[in-house]
Amino acid sequence: MRREVLNIDSLNRVHFIGIGGIGMSALAKFFLFRNIEVSGYDKVCSSITKSLSKDGANIIYEDDLSLIKSKDEIDLVVYTPAIPSDNRQLDYFSSSRIPFHKRAYILGQITKSYHTIAVAGTHGKTTTSSIIAHILQYNKLGGVSFLGGISTNYNSNILLQDGNNAVVEADEYDRSFLKLFPNMILLTSMDPDHLDIYGDNQSLIEGFKLFTALLENKNKLIVQEDLNSHFNDCLTYGFHKNSSLSIQHIRIQKGGYFFDVLYNDKLYSDFEFYLPGKYNLLNAAGAILCGFEMGLDAQQIKSGLASFSGVKRRFEVHYDKNDIVYIDDYAHHPKEITALVNGLRDFYPKHKIIGVFQPHLYSRTRDFMHGFQEALSLLDQLFLMPIYPAREKPIKDVSSENLLIDIALESKSVLNNEDDLFLSLKQENKFVLVTIGAGDIDLLINPIKTFLHENF
């Protein structure tokens, strides 16, 4: 396979359209670290864009070409497919002579000179890739890692270290992962999602198969054990003893999981992992297998795993005092919500579970209406926020009000005002509050924390 690496040293300035996204901002940070001038546009000023500005990026928040300084000095324009097609900058730069590429293409160009570990799947890829990246960083084998979330250990979505390894989150949306050059692939799941792109689940599975076909001979494909029927010559991980690596003898102690690992017919004892939820144990299992296959020994993996503190917005605990717990999570698919609530039940079996959910995208809400209703019915109480549209226009008869109708809870309501939530919480004395969603529900985090500190 011919690999013409992007000549980064020839770049003086890179402009990003949609710079505030988690994947785009990681690329922007990479170029800033290389002392390349970065400019960009985003419609919302956020903690991410503020951090980029502090690091030297020149960011505008209006889609106004006149605000972009010295457009003729831009050497490369990077854009995200999440940007609406009527964006003025998108129209201008797509017809200019300046090199103009999607984020996925640039990510592939940057990482193809590395030994690339690509983590894919409809759920779990951010946490799994972050665990792998941390284990490598901990053992001074990091290279570069582009993550789909903010690692709590490093307060960053990009990790840089001397080395030849790259860890990337391989995004199936818009078939972006086909622009990568993986040497190892870890596949966590293939549940239906992004049906606005793929049409149906079979097409999604075929997309993942096309991605795994990018592996050259003798490279490794690692899949979660339930997926092995779709692939030949793959390594598997999970809880079953016949998997290539399996987690055994799980104990909940000291606020975390303690367990043993069976790998290559040998049992390795006393691994520690401090993210709740069996689904997170699966993520850890995949990362452990990846570590073994990269040549790390059990102690190196154990030490890295035990010191992993998580990813922001993934089962992130913001308050834990006097039997009151507040957790925020990025879950935005029925299976993710089901796994999240089950994880909460494991660790807080005597608490009332109160959820605040913001559906993400009209199309996803329509496509998985019944699944969302079943998953949200696992809560004890639900506050449902209006749908976060992101890039989409409203769809007839798709609304939070309609979603709420068949949710099997006595205590459920649409939330339009945070004061209604606070009034209800004042009546409780032992509960877990969890905010759930991939939109801007994180704007509730600070008001909720303030309320809890003042009232409990």
Residue 135: which CATH number? 3.40.1190.10
Sign of the torsion formed by the C-alpha atoms of 126, 132, 136 and 139:
positive
Say whether both 320 and 451 belong to one domain: yes
Instruction: Please give the model's pTM, rounded to 2 decimal places.
Output: 0.86
Q: Kindly state whether residue 216 falls inside one of the protein's structural domains.
A: yes
Per-residue pLDDT reduced to its tens digit, 102-150: 999 999 999 999 999 999 998 899 999 999 999 999 999 989 999 999 9
Domain total in the chain: 3
Say whether both 258 and 366 belong to one domain: no
Say whether both 84 and 128 belong to one domain: no
Say whether both 70 and 125 belong to one domain: no
| Domain interval for residue 294 | 112-306
Q: Kindly state whether residue 444 falls inside one of the protein's structural domains.
A: yes
pLDDT of residue 1: 37
Question: Which of helix, strand or coil describes residue 335?
Answer: helix
130/135 Cα distance (integer angstroms): 9
Say whether both 302 and 321 belong to one domain: no
pLDDT of residue 4: 44
Say whether both 278 and 322 belong to one domain: no
Mean pLDDT by 10 residues, the chain (456 residues): 62 97 96 96 93 97 95 94 90 93 94 95 94 97 94 96 94 89 95 70 89 84 94 94 97 90 97 92 98 98 97 92 96 94 92 98 95 98 95 93 96 94 96 96 96 96
Instruction: For the chain, count helices (H), then strands (E).
Output: 15, 21
pLDDT of residue 2: 36
pLDDT of residue 255: 81
Say whether both 152 and 299 belong to one domain: yes
User: Is 433 in contact with 354 (CB distance < 8 Å)?
Assistant: yes
Which of 71, 101, 131 is at the close of a domain? 101
159/304 Cα distance (integer angstroms): 15
Q: Kindly state whether residue 382 falls inside one of the protein's structural domains.
A: yes
Helix (H), strand (E), coil (C) string for 217-254: CCCEEEEEHHHHHHCCCCEEEECCCCCCEEEEEEEEEC
Q: Kindly state whether residue 270 falls inside one of the protein's structural domains.
A: yes
Which of 306, 333, 353 is at the close of a domain? 306
pLDDT of residue 3: 41
Q: Kindly state whether residue 2 falls inside one of the protein's structural domains.
A: no
Which of 101, 126, 160 is at the close of a domain? 101
Sheet holding 100-102, edge to edge: 58-60, 37-41, 13-17, 76-79, 100-102
Question: Which of helix, strand or coil describes residue 201?
Answer: helix
CATH number for 78: 3.40.50.720
Sign of the torsion formed by the C-alpha atoms of 104, 109, 111 and 114:
positive
Per-residue pLDDT reduced to its tens digit, 48-75: 999 999 999 999 999 999 999 999 999 9
134/51 Cα distance (integer angstroms): 22
Say whether both 160 and 45 belong to one domain: no
Tell which residue, 169, 164, 161, has the closest CA to residue 185: 169
Say whether both 116 and 255 belong to one domain: yes
Say whether both 269 and 416 belong to one domain: no
CB neighbours of 268 closer than 8 A, spacing ≥ 6? Answer: 260, 261, 262, 298, 302
CATH number for 333: 3.90.190.20
Give the pairing type, strands 156-160 and 144-151. antiparallel
Q: Kindly state whether residue 106 falls inside one of the protein's structural domains.
A: no
174/23 Cα distance (integer angstroms): 14
Q: Kindly state whether residue 5 falls inside one of the protein's structural domains.
A: no
Give the pairing type, strands 352-357 and 256-263. unpaired
Q: Kindly state whether residue 300 falls inside one of the protein's structural domains.
A: yes
Say whether both 252 and 216 belong to one domain: yes
Cα angle 449-450-453, degrees, rounded to a multiple of 5: 85
Q: Which DSSP state fits 18?
A: T
pLDDT of residue 82: 83
pLDDT of residue 317: 93
Say whether both 282 and 392 belong to one domain: no
